[in-house]
Amino acid sequence: MNFFFAKLFQEYKSDRLNDIAEDKITAYISLLCFMVFFGIYLVGSVFIENKLLLKRPEYGIIYTLVIFLLSIVSIYKFVRHKYITKQYIYILTAKYKKRKFNTFLLYFIAGFLPVFIILLGTTLTVLINGGEILNYPIQGLIK
């Protein structure tokens, strides 16, 4: 992934708007990290709501909102600190500068990867907790 992030950052820097390349790469990496976290969280939250919060489902909404907001802020701050403040993205860019990567493939992966992560997380949630996919009922592993 670091190779992918370095090439994407290098592409952002070569853009006309290279002054916001750090912000763009921070937002993209944070988005990916949040989607992975949310996919994992989704499985657990559905289980918690189904098993523990049967009598008060509104607590599940408040709980999810608080976790959602705290995770967005903390993931963004962590990624900003690791990649930008510590200059790690520049180290990666220098390390992979001589390697070539197709620009179309780079942008395709950058656009497809978040969608894939979200679909994977929701599919795993249904497979583990039960539900329905394309009008086909699925008995979950935890039921």
Q: Which pLDDT belongs to residue 56?
A: 63
Distance of CA 107 to the CA centre of its chain: 16
Q: Which pLDDT belongs to residue 130?
A: 80
Contacts by residues 53-60 (CB-CB < 8 Å, ≥ 24 positions apart): none
Q: In the chain, count of helices (H) and strands (E)?
A: 5, 2
Tens of pLDDT, residues 38-54: 888 887 777 776 666 55
- The stretches in the chain having pLDDT less than 70 are 15-19, 49-60, 143
Report the predicted TM-score, pTM, of the whole model to 2 decimal places. 0.82
Q: Which pLDDT belongs to residue 87?
A: 93
First-last CA distance in the chain:
35
Q: Which pLDDT belongs to residue 54?
A: 59
Contacts of 38 (CB under 8 A, 6+ apart): 68, 71, 118, 121
